[in-house]
């Protein structure tokens, strides 16, 4: 599923990702995005649920222009954050429908998960709303 999302994103955002310095939407003071589950350090099976949390802002689908809202993007095994001035593309899984959870299937081993909130155009807010990176072990 993640692979299909990433392929679609590469097609949709190829031209958009080339645009630099697009306007950024302000985030709400004190807004937080976080991973509800699994917990940092958890051991999970090869297929497991990831539940997203958001505090201080609301969730709205991509393309919807509502103040103080955004939608989730999940970084998987990423040591770097995406650029803050362009739409997030193939380096992240995109949940533009306003989803607040997903099911992942991963190979056994250690993996990292991190969330970043995107605005209606998939651009990180200003300042960006980014979760703590967690590490899980798939058994």
Q: pLDDT tens across 81-93, in order?
A: 888 888 887 668 9
Rounded (10°) CA dihedral 115, 121, 126, 130:
0
Mean pLDDT of 115-132: 96
Average pLDDT, the chain: 87
**pLDDT exceeds cutoff 50 at 14:** no
Could you tell me the CA-to-CA distances from 72 to 13, 97, 118, 138, 139 in Å, in that order? 16, 9, 6, 23, 26
**pLDDT exceeds cutoff 90 at 49:** yes
Mean pLDDT of 48-63: 97
Residue 13 near residue 121, CB atoms below 8 Å? no
Query: According to the model, what pLDDT value does residue 20 have?
Result: 53
């Amino acid at each position: 599923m993640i692979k299909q999302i990433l392929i679609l994103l590469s097609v949709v955002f190829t031209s958009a990702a080339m645009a630099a310095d697009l306007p950024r939407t302000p985030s709400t003071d004190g807004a937080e995005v976080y991973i509800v589950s699994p917990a940092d350090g958890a051991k999970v099976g090869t297929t497991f649920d990831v539940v997203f949390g958001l505090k201080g802002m609301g969730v709205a689908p991509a393309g919807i222009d509502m103040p103080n809202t955004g939608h989730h993007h999940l970084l998987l095994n990423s040591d770097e954050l995406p650029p803050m001035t362009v739409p997030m593309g193939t380096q992240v899984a995109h949940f533009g429908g306003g989803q607040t959870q997903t099911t992942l299937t991963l190979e056994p081993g250690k993996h990292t998960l991190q969330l970043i909130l995107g605005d209606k155009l998939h651009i990180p807010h200003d300042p960006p709303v980014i979760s703590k990176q967690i590490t899980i072990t798939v058994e």
